[in-house]
Amino acid sequence: MAKGLVLILSGASSVGKSDIRDALLADEEMNLIFSISETTRPRKEGEVDGKDYYFVDHKDFAASVKNKELLEYTEFNGYYYGTPKAPVEFLTSKGKNVLIEVEAQGVGPIKLNLPDAVAFFVMPESFEELEKQVYERYGDDEASVQRRLNKARMDMEIAPLFRNQVSNADTAKAVEQIKKVFLEELAKVNQE
């Protein structure tokens, strides 16, 4: 049976990763399953446990870290987020490809655990365009806007470390570029 491969999608806050993610998941040729993250943040209205996130308390999250059950984890706005290891390993062993959407600093720990994983950093069309998108989404909370913009600047400083960078000036083109590279890498892994 062919082995599955992990696609890591990262980029600055509000750069449009979710649009790219949704398009990649909808593409049957990619054979992707979305990796659901674990978080300590409260559930928002309409979110479903086990679909949007695995919602856990701080004690359970700390146990996941201690027991090395997470591929990576991070803190943002006082809440913790992490990628559970077992589901990813199970799915790839069954020939499924897994998409992990993660903060830029989480890519290194994932690559240490899964060296074949293919990581992509999504760049904004420009920082001005990104700033506009952040204000559109979070404009009613100036402190949140500034935190997100500061984080975006830091994330973009990490971007040169990624072999695969893709601009989200045109989502369809970004998706095609990611798909091309990922399918080439998948073919290489399954030839070995």
pLDDT by residue for the chain (192 residues), tens only, comes to: 678 999 999 998 778 899 999 999 999 999 999 999 999 999 999 999 999 999 999 999 999 999 999 999 998 889 999 999 999 999 999 999 999 999 888 899 999 999 999 999 999 888 888 888 888 888 778 888 888 888 888 888 888 888 899 998 899 999 999 999 999 999 988 887
Q: Is the residue at 151 inside a domain?
A: yes
Q: Which domain range does residue 106 map to?
A: 6-191
Q: Is the residue at 21 inside a domain?
A: yes
Q: Is the residue at 1 inside a domain?
A: no
| pLDDT number for residue 105 | 84
Q: Is the residue at 45 inside a domain?
A: yes
What's the CATH number where 132 sits?
3.40.50.300
pTM of the model: 0.89
Q: Is the residue at 23 inside a domain?
A: yes
- Which residue blocks in the chain are alpha helix, DSSP H? 17-26, 58-66, 85-93, 107-113, 127-138, 142-158, 171-191
Q: Is the residue at 31 inside a domain?
A: yes
Q: What is the 3-state secondary structure (H, E, C) of 74-118?
A: EEECCEEEEEEHHHHHHHHHCCCEEEEECCHHHHHHHHHHCCCCE
| pLDDT number for residue 159 | 83
Into how many domains does the chain fold? 1
Q: Give the angle subtended at the CA of 51 by the CAs of 47 and 52, to the nearest 5°.
A: 50
Q: Is the residue at 126 inside a domain?
A: yes
Q: Is the residue at 183 inside a domain?
A: yes
